[in-house]
Amino acid sequence: MALILFDFDGVLADTLDDLLQFGQEVCNELGVHHHVVKEDLSTLEVMSFATYGRQLEVPDALIEKFVQRCLEKIAEKESPPAIFTGLADVVRYLSKRHTLGVVTTNSAKNVQAFLAQHGLEDCILAIYGVDQPGSKAEKISRARKKFGTAGEEVFMIGDAVSDVIAAKQASAKSIAVSWGHQSLNNLIKAEPDYIVHATSEIVQLIDQA
C-alpha cells in the first residue's frame, strides 16, 4: 500500500489549451496587453494561477481577480477537460491497491467535475485544492497524516518544479511526468526521484517500489 497524490492540471487533466485561452481572455478583460503563448506556462517553476498571471504581466493589484476569473472560466466550461490517454485505467488500477488523492492549485469543485465526467470520483479519497489553506507541501503532509500509515511510501505525481520541491519538503517521493505543462529540461534540473514519459510507467514504478 502507498499514498499516491496527483497534481491535476497537466498530470491528470489535459488543460493546456484551456489555460492558454482563458489566460488570454482574462488578460483582455483586465486590460493587460500580453499575447499568451505556451512558453508562458512551460517556463514557470511554480505552477499556480497566481504565478501564471504574473508571467502574463498582470499587475499585482489584479492577480487575485485574474485567479478568480480563470477558475470561474474553467468551472463555466460546458464539459470538463480531457484526461490524458491511459490515465483513467491507471487511476482505477492504483485505487484498488493504494490510497489516492489530488493536490492542486485548481479548485476542488473543478476537480470533482472532472472526476465525475470520467467516472473516477470513487477512486480519489481526497482533493486538496486552491480553496484550502496551506502550501502544496503542507497539503501533502496533511494527506499523509490523515490517510498514511507507518512505513508507507508517499508519492507526489506532478508536472512542475514546484511539485518536486513540495514533495521534497514533505519527505515524499516525487514522480515528474513529461507530458505536462512544464518543460522537461526544467523538471530534470529539479532532480525528481523519478521521471515518467508514459502513463503506464506510473504503475510499473509504484508496483516495483
Torsion region of 172: left, alpha or beta (phi above 0 gives left; psi -120 to 50 gives alpha): beta
Q: Where are the domains of the chain?
A: 2-14+83-208, 16-76
C-beta of residue 159 within 8 angstroms of C-beta of residue 141? no
pLDDT digits (tens, 9 = 90+) for 143-202: 999 998 878 899 999 999 999 999 999 999 999 999 998 889 999 999 999 999 999 999
Q: Which residue has the cell 510499473?
A: 204
- By three-state DSSP, how is residue 107 classified? coil
Where residue 68 falls (left for φ over 0; alpha for ψ -120 to 50; beta otherwise) is: alpha
The pLDDT value recorded for residue 79 is 85
Give 80's pLDDT tier (boundaries 50, 70, 90): confident
Please give the CATH architecture assigned to the domain spanning 2-14+83-208: 3-Layer(aba) Sandwich (3.40)
pTM above threshold 0.85: yes
Alpha-carbon span 45 to 59, nearest angstrom:
19
